[in-house]
Amino acid sequence: MAYERIKSEILAFRLKPLAPLSEVALAQRLGVSRTPIREAIRRLEREGYVWVAPHKGAFVTPVSLDDVVEIYLIRELLEGAAAAMAAQRIAPATIERLRNQLAAVDVGGRLHVERMAAVDAEIHTAILRAAGLPKLSALVGAMNEQAQRMRYAGIEVRPRGNRDELLAILDALARRDAAAAEAAMRAHIRLSRESLATIT
């Protein structure tokens, strides 16, 4: 439980890059002893989410600009190609379901960032599934967890722009326009990368 809670807070950007991870504070907040916190931190260190500095303590690993550029450049190319393929194959009912999910992130005139991140991920997953390219999906999937922290941060910076780009992708898919779907997906990922470069 301690591992899952701490990891989810790192991925959701509630624990920011370079934030200190105090065993005492985390144990009190999560209502557990320090032992599971210590074990969780060790596991997260092995996975690259936590950095332990000798005699200073544990910190959330920073997200480097190089990581952002590399991961998002690869995603732009691969997911753009997937969107073009999906335009010919995705079911209209899937597009409608995704539109409804996207509409639901607007809560009282304010966009809910965590819901937006979940819907963003669902749209990307649905497009990869509809493309019917398992090897490409596997390559993108291998990077998705690394990109998850960045996704939250990017949505926080430009929530309405992110939503409008996703709508443009769904509109292109609904028209069965492969070229427009690829262009919209690539623009979405490129703009996300550019916004993240300003905060990493």
Average pLDDT, the chain: 89
Q: Does CATH place domain 2-60 in 1.10.3720.10?
A: no
CATH number for the domain whose boundaries are 65-197 = 1.20.120.530
Distances in whole angstroms, Cα of residue 76 to Cα of each of 87, 157, 192? 16, 19, 10
pLDDT (mean) for 147-151: 71
What is the pTM assigned to this prediction?
0.75
Query: Whose CA is closest to 142, among 156, 154, 153, 128?
Result: 128
The 10s digit of each residue's pLDDT in 64-120 is 778 778 888 999 999 999 999 999 999 999 999 999 999 988 877 778 877 888 899
pLDDT category at 164 given cuts 50, 70, 90 is: very high
Residue 24 or 117, more confident: 24
